[in-house]
């Protein structure tokens, strides 16, 4: 039986491509489109979880990640 996990994916445009980040595990990937960057990040997270020891996963895992927007006044 496969375990299911939910993680955050933050994807942003960088140059001609996209960079994707899973902040809970501090794993990043990239792709030429949002969909490719997302799929590559998913694969990277799956590979990490399949190969890392339980202690490494525990050490890297940030259980509380908040993604929000903020307003900043300048000048």
Q: What is the pLDDT of residue 74?
A: 97
* The CATH number of the domain covering residues in 1-75: 3.30.160.250
Burial 2-39 (b: 16+ CB within 10 A, else e): eeeeeeebebeeeeeebbbbbebbebebbbeeeeebbe
Domain ranges of the chain: 1-75
> What predicted TM-score, i.e. pTM, was given to this entire model?
0.88
Q: What is the pLDDT of residue 53?
A: 96
Q: What is the pLDDT of residue 2?
A: 84
Angstrom CA distances, 6 to 3, 32, 45, 65, 71, stand at: 10, 24, 11, 12, 28
Q: What is the H or E stretch that residue 41 is in?
A: helix 34-51
Q: What is the pLDDT of residue 3?
A: 87
Encode the chain (75 residues) as per-residue pLDDT tens digits. Answer: 788 999 999 999 999 999 999 999 999 999 999 999 999 999 999 999 999 999 999 999 998 999 999 999 999
């Amino acid at each position: 039986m496969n375990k299911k996990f939910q993680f955050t994916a933050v994807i942003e445009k960088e140059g001609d491509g996209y960079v994707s980040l899973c902040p809970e595990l501090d794993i990043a990937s990239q792709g030429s489109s949002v969909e490719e960057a997302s799929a590559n990040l998913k694969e990277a997270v799956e590979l990490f979880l399949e190969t890392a020891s339980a202690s490494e996963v525990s050490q890297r895992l940030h259980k509380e990640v908040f993604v929000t927007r903020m307003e900043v006044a300048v000048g």
